[in-house]
Amino acid sequence: MTAHALASADAPASAAALATNSLDLPTLRFITCGSVDDGKSTLIGRLLFERRLIPDDLLATLRRDSLRHGTDGDNIDYALLVDGLEAEREQGITIDVAWRYFATPTRSFMVADTPGHEQYTRNMATGASQADCAVVLVDARKGVSRQTRRHAAIVALMGVRHVILAVNKIDLVAYDAAVFHAIAAEFTAFATRLGLEGVVALPLAARFGDNMSARGERLGWFDGPTLIEALERVSITSTMVPLPFRMWVQWVNRPDLNFRGLAGTIASGSIGVGDSVVMAPSGASAKIRRIHTADGDLTRATTGDAVSLVLDHEIDAARGDLVSMPESRPQVADQFAAHLIWMSADKLLPGRSYLMKIGSRLVPTSVTAIRRRIDVDTLEPLAAATLDLNEIGVCNLSTSVPISFDAYADNHATGAFILIDRETNVTAAAGMIDFALRRATNVHRQALVINKAERATLKGQKPLILWFTGLSGSGKSTIANLVEARLHAMSAHTTLLDGDNMRHGLNRNLGFTNADRVENIRRVGEVAKLMLEAGVIALCSFISPFKADRDMVRALVEPGEFIEIYVETSLEACIARDTKGLYKRALAGQIKNFTGIDQPYEAPEAAELVLTTEGASAEALADRVIDYVLAHGMRG
């Protein structure tokens, strides 16, 4: 009956008729979001059904599936049209985003159905990052919940400009106008605090089609738009001032000696032949000679065009560079404040090295401070030492080299980034840059008259960092001391940084939690780098259990300067040796966070040297290190 009736008079006459966009209608990208079970998937399934986009064979399948998995008795469960994963159908919830496409006579739509479940918030953010508009659903019986507020906060943070509030399941409160108005007022007040203007609120019964394509009698009291009308009215064309020209160099297109093009997609603004452009961060400039595409050269290219820019003369340009015009350059900095939405089950560790991908650029970066965490219920700032899965914070970040960017509020294409965990490769966070903390363009490093190479020349050696890593008691310090003695005998200038010694001085305020271990290694890395710059061979002997931290030190110096030496001894052998009696205490539970016992050791995958200690003498192993140093040009 009602559930199966086609509510709409203007629905297209034939199935696929308006799945297509042959009319070249403007496209609106939107998401459905809100708390678990509020009816997001039902809404989209019902919408597709009402647009007659469900072919007969799929409708037959849906009827069958509804009996098996449906949450709605014998009636059609429209959510099953979008909840396509087996796990989703079995549990009756959405886990990941589904993308769907439909059109009305005036507009084409790309919609992402997102999960309401808190555990899958990152999948909701995936949808939000693509959207111009968000339909936030609220169950009329339950009202605005914590998850509604969290989604609204993410929508605001990601700069989704238009919000439609759909008060759903209005049938379950007897189509009561008062309930609708109360929820609309509460949500609108919260949205205003988030800076979301012009929320359009409407009542809905998605399951029955009330106020979807057509009003329906039971909502006769409502004088606002139907859902379709509201979606058709959202303005797509941006009223903002045109953005300056930006293009990330994706790939240098160099098929032969006669052609060198900077391939990329215009991220914002437009560019014409003859225009001057500058590369960031290098600052090199040139003029556009050609704008190549496979369909012939263009005289102008605008936002969204995939092109290859040919310059009038060769300049240094590579993947990751940002092309702009000299009068409207991006900012260049290595420290900035940004909002982060944390998406990994492993907590954010300040000081740890992550990879930042911004445009086509990939750079090591670390969070230097968490300025505040945002409570999604109250929007109050809270102090925080870390960010957990699904938490939102404002952080200071520092990149290993300066990057070019704009504030996210000014330009999404140059202000958005992701953080990648270097160990697991998971996408750990979504980031939006707020502002530069220190402009690399103003605060230059003090130029030094004498440089590293000159200091090294005087010493007649090539400075190196010899980084010994391995379990406690694996033999790092023993071997490092032997190596240093030999180098010294060969008149090399050396120093030895040892974990225990550093913890008595520079690092005495640090403990052994994950976060403190990261900071320990960061400081040691900086000290080793200073030694290197002084022309010295720095031997470093640290358990350094985390691969990401060792890689962070490696990234501080030039290729070939950081020599990772894995002192490989089995845990059993270390426990048997137990020279300091520490394993005994750790095993007895008297020492917490002990590597190998209750904290992992991540063995190097690509160490320059692996020294297997069992069955070899420390002297022989030290010789191998010396051989390596001699072979790699100790006499610089």
Partner 1 sequence: MPALSRHLRALESEAIFIMRETVAEFAHPVMLYSIGKDSSVMLHVALKAFSPGRLPFPLLHVDTTWKFREMIAFRDAVAARHELKMIVHINQQGLERGVSPITSGSSVHTHVMKTEGLRQALDQHQFDAAFGGARRDEEKSRAKERIFSHRSSAHAWDPRNQRPELWNLFNTRIKRGESMRVFPLSNWTEADVWDYIAAENIAVPDLYLAKPRPVVWRDGTWIMVDDERLPLLPGENPEIKMVRFRTLGCYPLTGAVPSTATTLPEIIAEMRSSSVSERQGRLIDADETGSMEKKKREGYF
Ligand X SMILES: Nc1nc2c(ncn2[C@@H]2O[C@H](COP(=O)(O)OP(=O)(O)OP(=O)(O)O)[C@@H](O)[C@H]2O)c(=O)[nH]1
Active-site residue numbers?
544
Using CB under 8 A as the binding rule, whether residue 255 contacts partner 1 is answered as yes
Nearest distance, CB of residue 184 and ligand X, angstroms: 16
Give the torsion sign (CA, 293, 296, 299, 304). Answer: negative
Check residue 292 for interaction with partner 1 (CB under 8 A): yes
Between residue 351 and residue 390, which ones bind ligand X under the rule CB under 6 A? none
Q: Is the Cβ of residue 42 or residue 569 nearer to partner 1 in the bound state?
A: 42
169 near ligand X, rule: CB under 6 A? yes
Of partner 1, Mg ion, ligand X, none, which one does residue 505 interact with (CB within 5 to 8 Å by kind)? none
Give the nearer residue to partner 1 in terms of CB position, either 84 or 600.
84
541 binds partner 1 (CB under 8 A): no
Stretch of residues binding partner 1 (CB under 8 A), selected from 163-171, 274-282, 412-420, 523-531:
412-420
> By C-beta, is 254 or 635 nearer to partner 1?
254
CA nearest 430: which of 491, 480, 400, 387? 387
List 30, 49, 110, 116, residue binding ligand X (CB under 6 A) = 116
For residue 267, what are the contacts with CB-CB under 8 A and spacing of at least 6? 246, 247, 248, 303, 359, 411, 413, 414
Question: How many whole angstroms separate alpha carbon 8 and alpha carbon 474?
Answer: 75
**Partner in contact with 132, chosen from partner 1, ligand X, Mg ion, none, beta carbon below 5 to 8 Å by kind:** none
- State the minimum distance, in angstroms, from the CB of residue 317 to ligand X: 45
Q: How far apart are CA 148 and CA 199, in angstroms?
A: 14
Helix ranges, 460-545 (H): 476-489, 499-504, 514-533
Residue 432 near residue 418 (C-beta atoms within 8 A) = no
Instruction: Report the residue number, 128 or 179, with the smaller CB distance to partner 1.
Output: 128
Look at residue 129 and give the partner it binds from ligand X, partner 1, Mg ion, none, a contact being a CB closer than 5 to 8 Å depending on partner kind: partner 1
| Six token digits for residue 236 | 């797509």
DSSP codes of every residue in 386-404: ---TT-EEEEEEEEEEEEE
Residues binding partner 1: number (CB under 8 A)? 75
When the beta carbons of 41 and 213 are compared against Mg ion, the nearer one is 41
The only residue of 205, 322, 356, 456 in contact with ligand X, by rule CB under 6 A? 205
- Among partner 1, Mg ion, ligand X, none, what does residue 205 contact (CB within 5–8 Å per kind)? ligand X
**Cβ count near 142 (within 10 Å):** 14
Q: Which residue, 66 or 520, has its beta carbon nearer to ligand X?
A: 66
- Beta carbon nearer to Mg ion, 66 or 94: 94
Task: Quote the CA–CA distance of 493 and 484 in Å, as a whole number.
Answer: 9
- Using an 8 Å Cβ cutoff, are 416 and 358 in contact? yes
Q: Of 488-517, which residues contact partner 1 (CB under 8 A)?
A: none
| Residues 97-136 as x/- pattern, contact with partner 1 by CB under 8 A | xxxxx------x-x-----------xx-xx--xx------
Least distance (Å) between residue 46 CB and ligand X: 8
Instruction: Decide the pairing of beta strands 27-34 and 133-139.
Output: parallel
Please report, as ranges, the residues that interact with Mg ion according to CB under 5 A: 40-41, 94
Applying CB under 6 A, which of residues 79, 243, 280, 465 lies at the interface with ligand X? Answer: 79
The residue within the footprint of partner 1, chosen from 61, 145, 495, 570 (CB under 8 A), is 61
3-state secondary structure 537-598: EEEEECCCCCHHHHHHHHHHCCCCCEEEEEEECCHHHHHHHCCCCHHHHHHCCCCCCCECCC
Q: 126, 94 in Cβ contact below 8 A? A: no
Q: Take residue 407 and report the two structure tokens written for it.
A: 């504030």
Strand duo 285-292 + 276-280: pairing: antiparallel
Binding site residues, ligand X, CB under 6 A: 36-42, 71-72, 77, 79, 93-94, 115-117, 168-169, 171-172, 205-207
